[in-house]
Amino acid sequence: MITLENYREIVGDTVISEIYKKARRLYGKHVVHINSTYAGGGVAEMLDSLVPLMNDVGLEVGWRILHGNPDFFITTKKFHNALQGEDINFTEMKQHVYTKANEDFSVFTHIDHDCVIIHDPQPLSLIKYYKKRQPWVWRCHVDLSNPNQEVWNYLKNFILRYDLVIVSNKKYTKDDLPVEQKIVHPTIDPLSSKNKELDDETIEKYITKFDIPTDKPLITQVSRFDKWKNPEGAIDVLRRVWDKIDCRLVLCGSMAADDPEGYQIYENVKQKAEDLVENRDVILITSENNILVNALQRRSDVVLQTSIKEGFGLSVTEALWKETPVVASNVGGIPLQVIDGETGFLVDPHDTGSFAEKVIRLLQEPDLAEKMGKKGKEHIRRNFLITRLLSDYLSVLNDIIH
């Protein structure tokens, strides 16, 4: 089991000592995180590392998953999209499907913790079905800058009951919400199988196992098959890069259990790139495999992120940590990570030409790619590693648990 001391070499003694200090007043405190999937997407990824570390420093921290049926996940995905600004046919039936799964779960999930941390909209309404005896925190990982007002107004029925709301970006704080709001930027775990160092032999083994030819430069995008991630945009970029350089594109997108739209988007991408998929100029991967993601992010010459919207973009963080140059959309949390011209290139998500131009530049100028990669890694080391997230959560709990 990885413990906090394993991070000393990466983040230094001061960071570790500060964390132990912040944990002191919280020894034995019983905290529960609740979200709606164990795997797939950034939230599960973070909890996977955060929960053991919170236990390691002396708290008693659990992690529970809201059980939902397919109807529930279809509905909450629509809510998710609406929170990111999309239209929705907002019926009473949807509200019923949403609250029923939360109410049912509350019947068999007993909560007597010192603090409850709810992640994202799926389990948000749980709060209504408990007698509140402790602080509840809503940790929202979604871009709330321009939500559909009807859905936002409905969800506020639940949000107003919370003691604290945490969002991922200053841009997502809400003026019309009289609940205390904090900003916590997400992080990655440098010791997880997805991010730990890999030797060349292991990298080649995984690249070969997944039948990825390495005769041409490799461009990769690691993202769920989701319209906001815009995998089709990555194919347009590839076609433009070909004007100057022959290369291959890997789209690696596992299907998250709480994301029912994934299969449809995957099919759209496959159709759009039919001929390219056949001759393996575009390689579509749907397996959930952390070491493969790690190997791909290390082996690729450029990592792309063509998202139209992005809560934070952990895939970008992961690539920067591996010193792989990144060309990414100037949206959501990406500009916090990619400092244009320093740690990577930022591009308007609709500007395929600029995307291609930056990719070509990085492929043609290996010195520039290397320099950006190194700066990218240092930027992540200082700001976006799991020890910082742990420290932020301890600060929140120190403030909120009396």
Contact residues: ligand UDP, CB under 6 A: 41-42, 45, 194, 222-224, 252-254, 288, 293, 311-315, 318
Q: Name 250's bridge partners.
A: 220, 283
Nearest Cα residue to 382 out of 346, 349, 339, 341: 339
For 325, the 3-state DSSP assignment is coil
Between residues 285 and 397, which has the closer beta carbon with respect to ligand UDP?
285
User: Using CA atoms, how far apart are residues 399 and 323, in angstroms rounded to an integer?
Assistant: 36
Between residues 106 and 317, which has the closer beta carbon with respect to ligand UDP?
317
Q: Cβ of residue 290: shortest distance to ligand UDP, in angstroms?
A: 6
Between residues 11 and 326, which has the closer beta carbon with respect to ligand UDP?
326
Q: Cβ of residue 239: shortest distance to ligand UDP, in angstroms?
A: 22
Residues whose CB is less than 8 angstroms from the CB of residue 185 and which lie 6 or more positions away in sequence, other chains included? 168, 169, 312, 333, 336, 383, 384, 388
The single residue listed with the structure tokens 């003694």 is 13
Q: Cβ of residue 221: shortest distance to ligand UDP, in angstroms?
A: 9
For 55, the token pair is 């236990």
Q: Cβ of residue 301: shortest distance to ligand UDP, in angstroms?
A: 18
Between residues 106 and 168, which has the closer beta carbon with respect to ligand UDP?
168
For 195, the token pair is 């991010």
* C-alpha distance across the termini of the chain, in Å: 31
DSSP code per residue over 25-58: GGTT-EEEEEES-SSSSHHHHHHHHHHHHHHHTT
Between residues 224 and 248, which has the closer beta carbon with respect to ligand UDP?
224
Q: Name 326's bridge partners.
A: 303
Q: Cβ of residue 252: shortest distance to ligand UDP, in angstroms?
A: 4
Asked if 346 and 335 touch (Cβ cutoff 8 Å), the reply is yes
User: Using CA atoms, how far apart are residues 62 and 59, in angstroms rounded to an integer?
Assistant: 10
Q: Cβ of residue 51: shortest distance to ligand UDP, in angstroms?
A: 16
State the residue number with the nearest CB to ligand UDP: 42
Q: Dihedral of the CA atoms 354, 346, 210, 202 (nearest 10)?
A: 130
Asked if 188 and 402 touch (Cβ cutoff 8 Å), the reply is no
Between residues 135 and 311, which has the closer beta carbon with respect to ligand UDP?
311
Q: Cβ of residue 314: shortest distance to ligand UDP, in angstroms?
A: 3
Between residues 135 and 332, which has the closer beta carbon with respect to ligand UDP?
332
Q: Cβ of residue 324: shortest distance to ligand UDP, in angstroms?
A: 13
Between residues 133 and 196, which has the closer beta carbon with respect to ligand UDP?
196
